[in-house]
A and B are shown apart, each in its own frame.
Chain A
Amino acid sequence: MDAPTITDIAQAEQGSSLWRDAWLRLRRNRLAVFGLAVLSFFIVIALLTPWIAPYAYAQQQLELGATPPSAAHWLGTDIFGRDMLTQIMYGGRISLAVGFIATSVALLIGITWGAIAGYFGGKVDALMMRLVDILYALPFMIFIVLLMVVFGRNMLLLFLAIGAVEWLTMARIMRSQVQSLRQQEFVEAAISLGLSPATIIRRHLVPNALGPIIVYTTLTIPSVMLLEAFLSFLGLGVQPPQTSWGLLIAYGAETMEEYPWLLLYPGLTLVLTLFSLNFLGDGLRDALDVRGAKD
């Protein structure tokens, strides 16, 4: 028998391979790379907005009124003479933050909750899932209005409130995934190796349940963004002069006939974001499926 050669070991050393392989596969998926690039671009812009925005976001030029795109205002101005590009850039800060933070909260709670309930089953499962059912039954709007009334209007609270609603479905999906995976022999094999439940959930169950979770996540982010717009429209979310893509679209829709650019540009931005999310989500799902072609 040969001693293990250096290349053998170097090859073997590259530990947790699932994510590395997934990244390699993702890189070969053009649409997913496009999606990732667009999203990264929007996020960088959103982070840098206070320094690179062409105008201050509250700056009005009432004498200007609504003007179509021009050299001074690339995407035109709204009825108060505010620069549309600036508005969209600032709006993106809110929308992207809501989308990603609220969804992350939902993911974190939902996956953990669902995996624990699905793994242990029995009484633990019954108790945890009944709680989910109860929260499902609460009218969402009343819940949010109550939160706002009690704690005052607050961005962080908005994120938490939306996240607190969205995790319920996530938990249900995760639970059903884990329940079916739990029956498989590789989980039994992991138990007989002596792994703890936490390790089994983390290493064996979650990676195998990611497909549906990722798809649902790409559906959740846009729905969260729209939810924020809806809440803001009702006066429960962000308030002028602060803005978000959802609000811009809502106001743009009111004046669609006279000033179409007020709807067009925020709308295009949102559409582009959602497309990118879907491309990236599909790409991620395929990339994480090791059965997919490797090259």
Chain B
Amino acid sequence: MLTVENLSVSFVTRMGTTKAVDDISFTVESGKITAIIGESGSGKSVACYSLLGLIPQPPGRIDGGRVMFENQDLLQLKPEQLRKIRGRDIAMVFQDPMTCLNPYMTIGNQLMEPLLYHKHVSQAQARKRALELLEEVGIRDPASTIDNYPHQFSGGMRQRVMIAMALINEPKLLIADEPTTALDVTIQAQILQLLAGLQTKRDIGILFISHDLAVVADIADQIVVMQAGRIVETGDRDAIFRNAHHPYTQKLLQAIPRGGKAVELPATEPLVQVRNLCTWFQSGKTSVKAVDNVSFDVLRGEVLGLVGESGSGKSTIGRSLLRLVPVTSGEVHFDGIDVTALQGRGLKNLRRRMQFIFQDPFASLNPRMTVYDTLAEPLLLHGIENRSTVGAHVLKLMDDVGLARAFVRKYPHEFSGGQRQRIAIGRALATRPEFIVADEPVSALDVTIQAQILELMRGLGREYGLTMLFITHDLAVVRQLADRIVVLQKGKIVEQARTEDLFESPQQQYTQQLLHSIPGRSLMELNA
């Protein structure tokens, strides 16, 4: 149905010409899902956006190729003709449903807009059609929610609305750009199911763009693997997963986290004891119970996984332990010291012993400080080094986290996500803390980078003798790293158990549901 032949796209800037997409060819058949897999910068999004004339030109430039859709070359069409096809025959679903919906329009009006524009139907008919679609994508009680605004929906529901919007003109091809990346695992599983169902029921072709092989493992028919603007491997799903030929595909497959942690730790005494911790946020007259009466221990030398979906309070617990948010009630003991009561000098000394690694390495580094300044700051602050000796220590830290010394004078924006996270880890380790809270430290990174950073953290954990609280939504990741796991839901602990026990015999229904939502289950079965 859609055939892309030898498409090349480049970007022309003052710095020179960059080939973003280099001579790629693939097809999408109706009733099938074709997945394009690649890491950020691999050109997968550029390729799909240029099909629809959605890349700005200049700086973008289409160097050649053909995109055949229903016997016409999309690249040769005039903008007006293309606009007719876009939204009618080919629709798109984007990664972030919030930024793609107009916050000042009800979802009903946004749904009806393309109908009124492309099909010239009456207001009443359009509304009826919108209601049917909302029903189809699984919005509960559409009749009463159709006049709501986007912010009144949750992330998963907004993505459903986006899908409904894409479907409203009964397109023949749906392009989905990382449609589940911003969603929780259980919601992700639902959306994937929805897409797979639509494809069979409506017989439309889906082009699914993703950075995560595991996500598409369950639904894709065809898989196209891209690296640095080129297609390195194409094949049907089983062929790719069973015998991938290209080393890059093999690397991607290996980066999918699976299996458990190898070494067993001897039981030790607790380093951190959390008792009846409550952290509530005041919003207007009501208080939101972000963390509600939570108790657990972190044993010395272990990695404790704290797992939950967004809104489960997992980040708030981490921040409460380190006194980054005010605790409402309860106790946190660190090595016998009550953390919640500390002030001034005592608190500063404690901060030296416990550190935080943040999720987003783009936000957690001061953009105007060089690596040197960032790493030297904690060393100088806590009097570990003085101005004349700090240089050598900074370089030692850079060695430890695997950053080339030549980068010492560079600013954060000059680094990739993985390198930035290395800087952030270096900063957290500078004071040689005993306890680290890592809040989703790899979820903003590409899969292969994710594997590297996890490996680094494992190694440094051993070398520095760290105790770690590892906060994540990703069960597959935490399984590799954690000794024990605490599962959270809506601010309360659902279940806590040793990692293997939790994966083999989850006791609670919610835990079972979480385990079922791990993407790539069919992949594990394939490999088993």
A residues bordering B, Cβ < 8 Å? 1, 4, 8-9, 11-18, 184-186, 188-195, 199, 203-204, 207-208, 288, 290-291
Name the residue on B nearest A17 (C-beta). B370
Interface hits, B463-503 → A, CB 8 Å: none
Contact A207 B368 (CB under 8 A): yes
B413 within 8 A of A: yes
The answer to whether A188 touches B358, judged by C-beta atoms less than 8 angstroms apart, is yes
Q: Which of B356, B366, B372, B394 has the most CB of A within 10 A?
A: B366
Interface string of B79-100 (1 = CB under 8 A from A): 0000000000000000000000
Residue of A nearest to B400 (CB): A1
Q: Which B residues are CB-close (under 8 A) to A191?
A: 324
- Which residues in A have their C-beta under 8 angstroms from that of B392? 4, 9
Contacts of B253 in A (CB 8 A): none
- Between-chain CB contacts (< 8 Å), 25 pairs: A4-B396, A8-B395, A9-B392, A9-B395, A11-B409, A12-B372, A12-B409, A15-B376, A17-B372, A17-B373, A18-B369, A185-B359, A185-B363, A186-B366, A188-B319, A188-B356, A189-B365, A190-B377, A192-B355, A193-B351, A194-B347, A204-B366, A204-B369, A208-B366, A291-B367
A40 to B452, CA, bound (A): 53
Chain B, residue nearest A191 (CB): B324
B413 in contact with A8 (CB, 8 Å): no
Q: Is A189 touching B348 in the complex (CB atoms < 8 A)?
A: no
Top 4 nearest A-B pairs (CB, nearest first) are A194-B351, A12-B391, A185-B364, A185-B363
Asked if B140 is at the interface of the complex by the 8 Å CB criterion, the answer is: no
What is the minimal beta-carbon distance from B318 to any residue of chain A, in angstroms?
10
| Binary A-proximity of B373-384 (CB < 8 A = 1, otherwise 0) | 100111001100
Q: B361 CB to closest chain A CB, in angstroms?
A: 9
Closest A residue to B355 by beta carbon equals A192
CB nearest to B387 among chain A residues: A15
Expressed in whole angstroms, the minimum distance between the Cβ of A205 and any Cβ of chain B is 9
Contacts A12-B372, A204-B366, A208-B368; A188 near B324 (Cβ below 8 A): yes
**C-alpha gap A191/B369 in the complex (Å):** 16
A-B contact count (CB 8 A): 102
Bound complex: CA A16 to CA B368 (Å): 10
Residues of A within 8 A of B322 (CB): 192
Q: Pick the contact of A8 from B351, B356, B382, B405 — CB < 8 Å?
A: B405
Q: When chains A and B are docked, how far (Å) is the Cα of A4 from the Cα of B99?
A: 47
A12 contacts B351, CB within 8 Å? no
Please state if B413 and A16 are interface contacts (CB–CB under 8 Å).
Answer: no
CB-CB contacts below 8 Å: B268-314 with A: none
A194 to B394, CA, bound (A): 18
Smallest CB separation, B349 vs chain A (Å)? 8
Which residues on the A side are within 8 Å of B367 (C-beta)? Answer: 186, 208, 290-291
* 18 further contact pairs, Cβ within 8 A, besides A189-B358, A194-B351: A8-B408, A9-B392, A12-B391, A12-B395, A16-B373, A17-B372, A186-B363, A186-B365, A188-B358, A189-B424, A191-B324, A192-B355, A192-B356, A193-B377, A193-B431, A194-B347, A194-B352, A195-B377
Query: Which residue from A12, A194, A204, A208 sits with its C-beta under 8 Å from B408?
Result: A12
CA distance A185 to B361 in the complex (A): 9
Q: Interface 1/0s, chain B 390-430, versus A by CB < 8 A? A: 01101110010000010011010100000000001001000
Tell me how far the C-beta of A45 lies from the nearest C-beta in chain B, rounded to whole angstroms.
35
Contacts of A188 in B (CB 8 A): 319, 324, 356, 358, 364
Closest chain-A Cβ to B430's Cβ sits at a distance in Å of: 8
Judge whether B23 is part of the interface by a CB distance below 8 angstroms: no
Q: Quick one: which of B359, B378, B405, B409 contacts A193, CB cutoff 8 A? A: B378
Contact with A12, one of B358, B360, B394, B413 (Cβ below 8 angstroms)? B394
Q: How far is the CA of A208 from the CA of B324 in the complex (A)?
A: 22
**Residue pair A189, B364 in contact (C-beta under 8 Å):** yes
Closest to A205 in B: B366
Task: Give the shortest distance, in Å, between A208 (CB) and chain B (any CB).
Answer: 6
B408 to chain A, nearest CB (A): 5
B353 to chain A, nearest CB (A): 10
Given the complex of chains A and B, what is the CA–CA distance between A194 and B395 in angstroms?
22
B residues near A (Cβ < 8 Å) are: 319, 322, 324, 347-349, 351-352, 355-356, 358-360, 363-370, 372-373, 376-378, 381-382, 387, 391-392, 394-396, 399, 405, 408-409, 411, 413, 424, 427, 431
Q: Beyond A4-B395, A193-B427, A195-B381, is A290–B351 a contact (Cβ under 8 Å)?
A: no
- Residues of chain A within 8 A (CB-CB) of B356 are 188-189, 192
**Cα–Cα distance between A4 and B408 once the two chains are bound (Å):** 12
Chain B residues with Cβ below 8 Å from A193 are: 351, 355, 377-378, 381, 427, 431
Residues of chain A with a CB closer than 8 A to B363's CB = 184-186
Q: Which residues of B contact A203 (CB under 8 A)?
A: 366, 369, 377
* Least CB separation from A200: chain B residue: B366
A1 to B392, CA, bound (A): 13
Given A194-B347, A194-B352, A13 and B377 touching (CB < 8 A)? Answer: no
> Is the Cβ of A9 less than 8 Å from the Cβ of B391?
yes
How many angstroms from the CA of A17 to the CA of B377 in the assembled complex? 13
Min CB–CB distance A234 → chain B (angstroms): 43
* Chain B CB within 10 Å, residue with most, of A191, A193, A195: A193
Q: Contact check, B391 vs A194: say whether CB atoms are below 8 A apart.
A: no
- Nearest B-chain residue to A183, judged by Cβ: B363
A14-B411 Cα distance, complex, nearest whole Å: 14
Which residue of chain B lies nearest to A10 when distances are taken between CB atoms in the complex? B391
Closest chain-A Cβ to B68's Cβ sits at a distance in Å of 41
With a cutoff of 8 Å between Cβ atoms, the chain B residues found around residue A288 in the complex are: 368
Q: Who on chain B is nearest to A204 by CB?
A: B366
User: Chain A: which residue is nearest B372 at the CB level?
Assistant: A12
Please measure, in the bound complex, the distance between the C-alpha atom of A203 and the C-alpha atom of B369, giving whole angstroms: 9
A185 — which chain B residues lie within 8 A by C-beta? 358-360, 363-364
Closest Cβ–Cβ distance, residue A289 to chain B (whole Å): 9
Q: How far, in whole Å, are A189 and B373 apart by their CA atoms in the complex?
A: 14
Please give me the residue from chain A that is nearest to B361 by CB atom.
Answer: A185
The CA of A213 and the CA of B220, in the complex, are separated in Å by 52
The distance in angstroms between the C-alpha atoms of A9 and B376, with both chains bound, is 13
Determine if A11 and B413 form an interchain contact, defined as CB atoms under 8 angstroms apart.
Answer: no
Contact of B381 with A194 in the complex, beta carbons under 8 Å: yes
CA distance A291 to B362 in the complex (A): 13
Which chain B residues border A14 with CB–CB below 8 Å?
A: 409
Give A113 Cβ to nearest chain B Cβ, in Å: 22
A16–B380 alpha-carbon span in the complex (Å): 13
Contacts of A4 in B (CB 8 A): 391-392, 395-396, 405
Q: In the assembly, what is the distance between CA of A248 and CA of B327, in Å?
A: 64
A208 contacts across to B, CB distance below 8 A? 366-368
Min CB–CB distance B399 → chain A (angstroms): 6
User: Which chain A positions have C-beta within 8 A of B413?
Assistant: 290-291
CB neighbours (8 Å) of A199 from chain B are 381
Question: By the criterion CB–CB under 8 Å, are B358 and A11 in contact?
Answer: no
